[in-house]
Amino acid sequence: MEKISISLDDYSANKIYPGALFLYGTYKQDGTPNFGLFTWFSYCWDSELGVMASVGSGKLTIDRIRATKIFSANLVTESLLPLADFLGNNPGYASDKMDIPIEIERGAVLDVPVLKNSPWVFELEVDQSIPLSGNEIFICKIRNVLVAKELTDESKSAGERLASISPVVWIGEGPYFSINSIPLGEAGNWKDLHKKETL
């Protein structure tokens, strides 16, 4: 496989990185909810499982997370994608952004807005933050996870549970993509590969 170096400008190095879509939910100062669309979301470990979430500058979401230190991260599914795309491509500071039909409830542990139809929602509290050039990385404690009941059914395979919610990913450009839930082999199947021929 021949490789070439690519430009590091304009997020080029982030292309072809499938990131799950999340809608981050915060409350505005007047108590009304706001949701922003993000993919820079991952996990970390510091005596317990935590979340790392990066948010760009100039967004209402980053301002509200800085002010309240709490937010929700709502997994985007195919059925939620039209709403997510709308919320992600209209600025939070637009007064009419949330003037749309949307089912919202409060978190079970934190005072954060939660999308009723998202099947997997983190309630997050900022533990540490790392300021960048206007952006910020929030390292968060997971205070609660709200999960669709059917996703706890251990009689179904991981692939069946994944297929039932159809999460959406984005690679940093172009269209959104669905996740192919066809299993490729169990974790650990290739742990002895080094004992065999080089691939």
Residue 199: pLDDT above 60?
A: no
pLDDT in tens, 107-142: 999 999 999 999 999 999 999 999 998 789 999 999
Residue 148: pLDDT above 60?
A: yes
Q: What average pLDDT does range 158-165 have in this prediction?
A: 90
What CATH number labels 19-184? 2.30.110.10
pLDDT in tens, 52-85: 999 988 899 999 999 999 999 999 999 999 999 9
Three-state SS across the chain? Answer: CCCCCCCCHHHHHHCCCCEECEEEEEECCCCCEEEEEECCEEEEECCCEEEEEEECCCCHHHHHHHHHCEEEEEECEHHHHHHHHHHHCCCCCCCCCCCCCCCEEECCCCCCEEECCCCEEEEEEEEEEEECCCCEEEEEEEEEEEECHHHHCCCCCHHHHHHHHCEEEECCCCCEEECCCCCCCCCCCCCCHHHCCCC
Task: Report pLDDT for 10.
Answer: 60
Would you list the domain boundaries of the chain?
A: 19-184
pLDDT in tens, 24-60: 999 999 999 999 999 989 999 999 999 999 998 889 9
